[in-house]
Amino acid sequence: MPKPDSLQGSLDLLVLKILSRRARLHGYAIMSAIQNMSREVLRVEEGSLYPALHRMEEAGWIRAEWVTKDSGKRARMYELTAAGKKQLGAEESRWQAVTSAINRVLREA
Amino acid sequence: MPLWSRLANFLRGDHLNREIDEEFQSHIEEAIEQGRDPAEARKAFGSALRHREESRDIRLVAWLESLRADAVFGWRQLNKTRVTSLAAILSLALAIGACTSAFRLIDALLLRPLPVANAERLYDLSRQGIGPDNKPQTFDGWAYPDFQLMRAAVANQAELIAVSYAEPVDLTYKSDEEMEKAYLQYVSGWMFPTLGIRPALGRVFTENDDLKPGGHPYAVLSHDYWTHRFGQDPGVIGRTFRLGNTIYEIAGVAEAPFTGTEPGTIVDIFVPIMMHPGVTRKDWTWHRTLFMPKPGVLENDRTALESIRQKLQATFRAFEEERAKGFLGMRKEDIDHFLNQTLLLEPAATGVSALQSETRRPLAILGVLVALVLLIACANVANLMTAQASARAREMAVRVSIGGGRWRLVQLVLLQSAWLALLAAVLGGLFAWWSGPFVVSMINPPDNPARLLLPADWRVLSFGLALALGVTLLFGLAPALRASSVNPVSALKGGEDPHSRRRLMHALIAVQVSFCFLVLFVAGLFVTTFKRLSNQPTGFSVDRLLVLDTVAKQPQSLEFWEQVAERLRSVQGVEKVALADEPLLGAGSWNNFISVNGAPPNGILSYMRAVSPGWLETMKIPLIDGRDFLPSDAHPGSALVNETFAKVYFDGLDPVGKTFDLSFDEGVRLRYQIVGLVGDVRYKSLREPILPQLYVPFHSVDATGATVKKTNGTLLVRTSLSSPLALASTLRQEVPQVRSEFRVSRIRRQLEINQSHTVRERLLATLALFFAIVALLLAGVGLYGVLHYSVLQRRREIGIRIAVGAQAGGIARLVTRDVFSMVLFGAAAGVGLGMVSVRFIESLFYQVKATDLQMLALPALTILAGALLAALPAVIRAVRIDPVTMLRAE
């Protein structure tokens, strides 16, 4: 089973992708989404997730907003920006390039 | 994240921490809700503190880092173009400095509340009505008995405070030889507790110091006077000084910074109102009345102020009706005007002073002029930044294409503007520091050194900072947004549409020229006003004429006064000496109604002066008919009148030998015979039409025919010296030699007295001229910069044109055509602006109209000449472009 560290580098891509499908998620929802969609293979730790979210927010790829939930509690919801969409495209093609390159190496070695 | 929210993060670090904590908390709650074990959820989260630090750093440090990098980069950019940056900084510094200086002055004089408790609840009582000259007038002087009635009438709702007009007096702490000047104000004892002014030493006055007329010879010093006169010596309590014939004892020192209620005058000594000689007189109006409603009165009832005003009005009217019963020989119309005055309550949080009302409009005008100069400077810097931005279009395009955010580019350019503004603000602050007191010294008439506290505190500082910030946005935002909206593809391909930048710069040139025209136009009007007013003939000669205000310890007989005059005539360098009650154009004015042949007065006041024989000759006023006074003439009895007097009362016929009556209060009527007709002179103002004047002999007798002794007189000394003040100390020493009771309290040149009437005009003319020169200079620099830039940008095109045979004249036209059409357009707009704005300041002009062709032509020609001069270097450069080198280089 891959260690959480193995997400390094691809965490941004995952978060951006998830936010591009489902607008406005809070941190916990993003975390569970990664876990569920990877069928529990990929786990992201809170200690990595939040700094990454804040970094991407700072870079202008995502933006956050405080929303009051039905329970009356506040949650910080994230969504993708236009710049984030571009970034997602770039990261996706980079990922494709890297994985296909790695696959080629695995096949032909 | 937008810049502002980052800025908010930066300034509210705690808030950021809380926000991050809250987000973590909501995460844990969510986890528990989804069925995770609370302890495990918390544990999984790890050290919240560490995450918080990490998140916080990410959100803050990145921004601070970018800010620092941009600031350094901006500084380098400024350094790269050192000369243009310096020009921008200096022009901006001049403008910011002038603005701050103007604000300092306006704030100190007109905006700053008095340093007393509840200043915002302070009002000044005045009355408005039709004056004896049938013009509306407002006056805030009151008689003390009237004040007492009014105070009693509203005692439940408000406090009334009497404060005299602060005046310079002669007093001595030792012998009579050591008289000194001090500013004195008579005040109600309860002024101190009502305004919450505590003693710094000893005691201040209370209600108990206002019981008996003449019975409270105590003084309270202002902290300022205590500091500069006594070096804060605590032993000052109990010391005495003599003022007139009264010995006053110093009872205390009022705490700083209170220096009286008149901005522009720093009171040295407060004495109880009961010590004023006019305190029991119903016909002396000599003090202001300040009004402060009791706490809660106005808050509880909005109409309270009006009902109090009506109560005061009723009391005042009853008082004056009682007094008017004694007005004999006055026309009913004038009495009605007198009684039908409306009492006004006007807010006086900033105090009340003559300087305030005299300079309010001039200062407002200067404020506008200075703001225009600032805008011109901003336009200059904006043009500079636009030109620089165009040079940096490639750099910007590269930044955008490698992923620099737009906001980041805005920040980059704005920071460079902020550097400019910051440096300019520091230099401008220094300029304001120096120029504020300089301007105050210009408002001051030379013989009446008014002092204004000009504190440089947080008010001035925050104004300066707000100004710098506003200016940064004003000239920095447009270039910044423009730079950030750069289109990388076209910029990298070889530049976007070059005309779009030039259009912006040209528009700014038009704005500059129109503002510059406005400043020049207004300056021209003020300079002409000052010139015409100063050259106004006064009817007498000021050459080498000295005015000696002379006082005697006890009233002295006419004989002794004449001996003093005689003694001065023997002094080397003195040509003529005469006596008068006061100088012409001085502060004192004395008037009465005239009745001819026993008929009732015609409602026109005649203005009076008491003069000795020889006064006409000394003043060089022509005697048109009849004779001068003889030593035997006395007041009442003989009179000299001027030509306007003859016109107004005798239909222009020669009045010599005719008689008229003057009527005084209590029904006394005195008959005068006109012995001479003299030339018209300026009596109290250079602006007003010539007044009917009459002169009575300095020698006056009472009802029994005995000569009246006098304590005050003015010696007019015509000297043969070109600088008459060289005689001042000799004359000062000679006067007491005749009799030791006599003393000269002040020596002035008549010229100074005349000049004090044009102080406001001189201030406006000088400062407006200064701003006009600055505006012209700035607009010239701006024009030069834009032309220089456009030649640089079109050098290839010009090179080709020269290569294919264009003439120098054609090139010059090509380079300047657009800009000069902007100059003309700007000038036309300036004329329009000028025509609209002079309406607000017309009343300050004298014998000059805004529609005079000369007034419009002069600034227009000046601007055109300035524009030609500014265009010259760029044109020369364009014509000299060598097509071979140019085309080879490209």
Q: Is the dihedral of CA B536, B539, B543, B547 positive or negative?
A: negative
- Alpha carbon distances (Å) from B312 to B51, B160, B289, B316, B394: 72, 11, 12, 6, 75
Backbone angles phi, psi at B517, to 5 degrees: -60, -45
Give residue A73's pLDDT.
79
Residue B307 exposure: Cα atoms within 13 Å on the Cβ side: 9
Q: Is B30 on the interface with A (CB under 8 A)?
A: yes
CA atoms of B183 and B266, how far apart (whole Å): 7
Q: Which residues of B touch A50 (CB under 8 A)?
A: 20, 23-24, 51, 54-55
SS3 (DSSP) at A80: strand
CA B878 to chain centre: 48
Residue A5 exposure: Cα atoms within 13 Å on the Cβ side: 1
Amino acid at B563: Q
Q: Which residues of B touch A63 (CB under 8 A)?
A: 1
* A4 confidence band (pLDDT: 50, 70, 90): very low
- Percentages helix, strand, coil for chain A (3-state, rounded to 5) are 60, 15, 25
CA atoms of B370 and B767, how far apart (whole Å): 10
User: Crossing angle of helices B406-443/B354-391, nearest 10°?
Assistant: 150
What mean pLDDT is predicted for residues A70-90? 86
Give residue B328's pLDDT.
62
Give residue B227's pLDDT.
92
Q: Is B27 on the interface with A (CB under 8 A)?
A: yes
CA atoms of B637 and B359, how far apart (whole Å): 43
Least CB-CB distance to B59: which of A46, A58, A76? A58
| Residue-wise pLDDT tens digits, B643-655 | 999 999 998 889 9
CA atoms of B7 and B835, how far apart (whole Å): 45
Least CB-CB distance to A76: which of B23, B59, B405? B23
- B392 vs chain A: nearest CA distance in angstroms? 24
CA atoms of B371 and B861, how far apart (whole Å): 23
Backbone angles phi, psi at B513, to 5 degrees: -65, -40
- A108 vs chain B: nearest CA distance in angstroms? 35
B252's tokens: 């205390």
Contact B748, B546 (CB under 8 A): yes
Contact A47, A7 (CB under 8 A): no
Question: 């000044």: which residue's tokens?
Answer: B124
**What distance separates the 2 farthest-apart alpha carbons in chain A?**
58
Amino acid at B288: R
Taking CB atoms and an 8 Å limit, are A74 and B26 in contact across chains? yes
CA atoms of B290 and B553, how far apart (whole Å): 34
Under-50 pLDDT residues of chain B? 1
How crowded is residue B456: how many other Cβ atoms within 10 Å of its Cβ?
14
Least CB-CB distance to B62: which of A26, A27, A58? A58
B275's tokens: 């010590």
Q: Is the dihedral of CA B4, B7, B12, B18 positive or negative?
A: positive
- Alpha carbon distances (Å) from B478 to B96, B211, B410, B422: 20, 68, 10, 18
CA atoms of B862 and B869, how far apart (whole Å): 11
Kindly state the helix (H) or strand (E) to which residue B126 belongs, with its residue range: strand B123-130
| Residue-wise pLDDT tens digits, B105-135 | 888 888 888 889 888 889 999 999 887 667 7
CA atoms of A10 and A8, how far apart (whole Å): 6
- B69 vs chain A: nearest CA distance in angstroms? 17
Give residue B48's pLDDT.
59
Taking CB atoms and an 8 Å limit, are B63 and A58 in contact across chains? yes
Contact B170, B181 (CB under 8 A): yes
- In chain A, the residue whose alpha carbon lies closest to the alpha carbon of B45 is A46
Taking CB atoms and an 8 Å limit, are A27 and B54 in contact across chains? no
CA atoms of B785 and B380, how far apart (whole Å): 8
Taking CB atoms and an 8 Å limit, are A76 and B51 in contact across chains? no
Question: DSSP code of A41?
Answer: S
CA atoms of B6 and B428, how far apart (whole Å): 30
Taking CB atoms and an 8 Å limit, are A50 and B23 in contact across chains? yes
Q: Is A86 on the interface with B (CB under 8 A)?
A: no
Q: Which residues of B touch A55 (CB under 8 A)?
A: 58
B526's tokens: 């003020």
CA A85 to chain centre: 12
Q: Which residues of B touch A28 (CB under 8 A)?
A: 26-27, 30-31, 34
Contact B210, B273 (CB under 8 A): yes
Taking CB atoms and an 8 Å limit, are B30 and A60 in contact across chains? no
- In chain A, the residue whose alpha carbon lies closest to the alpha carbon of B16 is A54
Length, in residues, of chain A: 109
Q: Give burial (CB, 10 Å; 0-12/13-18/19+) of B231.
A: exposed
Strands B158-164 and B742-749: unpaired
CA atoms of B390 and B764, how far apart (whole Å): 41
Q: Is B65 on the interface with A (CB under 8 A)?
A: no
Give residue B187's pLDDT.
95
Q: What is the DSSP string of B83-112?
A: HHHHHHHHHHHHHHHHHHHHHHHHIIIIIS
Taking CB atoms and an 8 Å limit, are B26 and A60 in contact across chains? no
CA B502 to chain centre: 41
Taking CB atoms and an 8 Å limit, are B27 and A46 in contact across chains? yes
Q: Is A21 on the interface with B (CB under 8 A)?
A: no
Interface of A with B in 29-68 (CB under 8 A): 29, 32, 45-47, 50-51, 54-55, 57-58, 60, 63
Taking CB atoms and an 8 Å limit, are B26 and A47 in contact across chains? no
Strands B287-293 and B158-164: antiparallel
- In chain B, the residue whose alpha carbon lies closest to the alpha carbon of A87 is B403
Query: Could you tell me what percent of chain B has a pLDDT over 70?
Result: 90
Best of A43, A65, A76 to disrupt the B interface (most B CBs within 10 Å) is A76
How crowded is residue B155: how many other Cβ atoms within 10 Å of its Cβ?
11
Exposure string (b/e) for B396-414, b if CB count within 10 Å is 16 or more? Answer: bbebbeeeebbbbbbbbbb
Q: Which residues of A touch B403 (CB under 8 A)?
A: none
Strands B180-187 and B269-272: parallel
Q: CA angle, B702 as apex, B699 and B706 as ends, to 5°? A: 75
B552's tokens: 């005697």
Taking CB atoms and an 8 Å limit, are A26 and B26 in contact across chains? yes
Taking CB atoms and an 8 Å limit, are A46 and B22 in contact across chains? no
What dihedral do alpha carbons B196, B202, B204, B207 form, nearest 10°? 120
CA atoms of B873 and B480, how far apart (whole Å): 29
Least CB-CB distance to A74: which of B22, B46, B63? B22
A56's tokens: 């991407």
Q: Give burial (CB, 10 Å; 0-12/13-18/19+) of A16.
A: buried
Taking CB atoms and an 8 Å limit, are A26 and B27 in contact across chains? yes
